[in-house]
Amino acid sequence: MKTVPDIKTTLPGPKAAAIVARDNQYVSPSYTRDYPFVMARGEGAVVEDVDGNVFLDCAAGIAVNSTGHAHPDVVRAITAQAQKFLHMSGTDFYYEPQVKLAEEMAGIVPVGGGTKQVRSFFSNSGAEAIEAAIKLARYTSKRFNIIAFLGSFHGRTLGALAATSSKYVQRRGFGPMMPGVYHAPYANCYRCPLGLKSESCAAECLNFVEEQILIHLVSPDEVAAVLVEPIQGEGGYVVPPAIFLQRLRALTKQHGMLLIADEVQSGMGRTGRMFACEHFDLDVDIVTVAKGIASGMPLGVTAARADVMTWPPGAHASTFGGNPVSAAAALATIKILKDGLVRNAEVVGEYFLERLRGLMDKHPLIGDVRGKGLMIGVELVRDRVTKERAIEERNRVVQEMFQRGILILGAGRNAIRFAPPMVFNRDQADTVVSVFDKALGAVTGRS
């Protein structure tokens, strides 16, 4: 496509403004739109709006477009399957794309240490994958309760919402929540919930689970599962120390609890490994996948060891889950990821991370830069000593980036997430860093 970014009109342009006005009249007001970008087409990591303005995409449809926009191999797979048949519910009938995808998932998910058979349940989204995981954990364990973590985001359907604790606005007005969910502090070492130093902390926040939740609130033998994001997404792109997840695994084994890894945002190569669990040598009982698995087609997967996924016919199902067109897109996506994009996410991600860290000397507004692969968070603070959250400044930076032709989104209360398609290259990373530098300068007056 053209030189990027290439902004030709004021934003939004006239065509975009007209579509936004129609949206405001007819579409649910519950959707969150940070700025008026109206998509027309895309290629790789580049997108164009309806007025011909060209942007670099560092959001990837919220970490969904893993292989980039309109990857030709994915488009061919979708077209070929659509010409055969669009739907034949996998709940009641058989078709090979769903079976092939289940076989592929069994070979890549961090479940069972690669030594045990893995089964997959197919749905349409991350929230549905979480709902299935919760139901499966309860059914298999014959227990009722779930432990999740503060700052987590697992979805907005009622079961997933009960485990979600990213922002109160996501829960406000929908109570009472599903009972039996308890929340513990997540190992955010930049903002340690116990006020400890990261270099001397052995993930003591897990003591809250052992010494508070499992002593005062619920018996360990009544906890079905612990649900955790290996790298926290909406909470701020928080990367925990390995010992946090390793101690968590030991805790679940000690008490016979299942461990569910929510890899909806961190999975499918985004972190430079196929799954974020692999960075921590973490083997889990159930893993949930969505977002990047099908390059933009709706698909969710709940994968588990066969001895965990023992529910009988009719216990759980989905009319559209594992749709043949989505399955075909996922099979093409997995091949592309294996053939080089996971490695590209690792290499370009390391470069991008260091370039962003290089801005810290110039911009005191940057408190922390963290991430794995192309899942990078930059936390903005008003003071690096007190770590006062720069909430308003973060929001202004997002707007400045948009006006300069870069699509990004916030994460948590005061962080910015960089989650471009995994075809992202070093030249594009340099462009984004340059624009980010200017946007920070515009907000703080430090040019």
Query: Of 332, 339, 295, which Cα lies nearest the Cα of 80?
Result: 332
pTM for this model (two decimals): 0.95
Q: What pLDDT is recorded for position 238?
A: 96
Helices 324-336 and 72-82 sit at what angle, rounded to 10 degrees?
A: 150
pLDDT of residue 115: 61
Domain ranges of the chain: 14-70+341-444, 75-337
What confidence score (pLDDT) does residue 92 get?
Answer: 93
Do domains 14-70+341-444 and 75-337 share one topology? The answer is no
Top CATH class of 14-70+341-444 equals: alpha beta
The domain defined by 75-337 folds into Aspartate Aminotransferase; domain 2 (3.40.640)
Q: What integer pLDDT is reported at residue 2 of this predicted model?
A: 60
pLDDT along the chain (447 residues), means of 10: 85 98 96 96 97 97 96 98 96 95 96 81 98 98 97 94 92 92 94 78 86 96 98 95 95 97 98 98 97 97 96 95 97 98 98 98 97 98 96 98 98 97 97 97 87
The CA-atom distances, in angstroms, between 363 and each of 274, 317, 384 are 33, 51, 11
Sheet holding 145-149, edge to edge: 118-123, 300-305, 286-289, 258-262, 223-228, 145-149, 181-184
pLDDT of 305 reads 94
Nearest in space to 279 (alpha carbons), one of 355, 351, 345, 234: 345
Q: Which residues contact 65 (CB under 8 A, 6 or more apart)?
A: 42, 57, 292, 295, 296, 421
Q: What is the dihedral of CA 228, 232, 234, 238, to 10 degrees?
A: 150
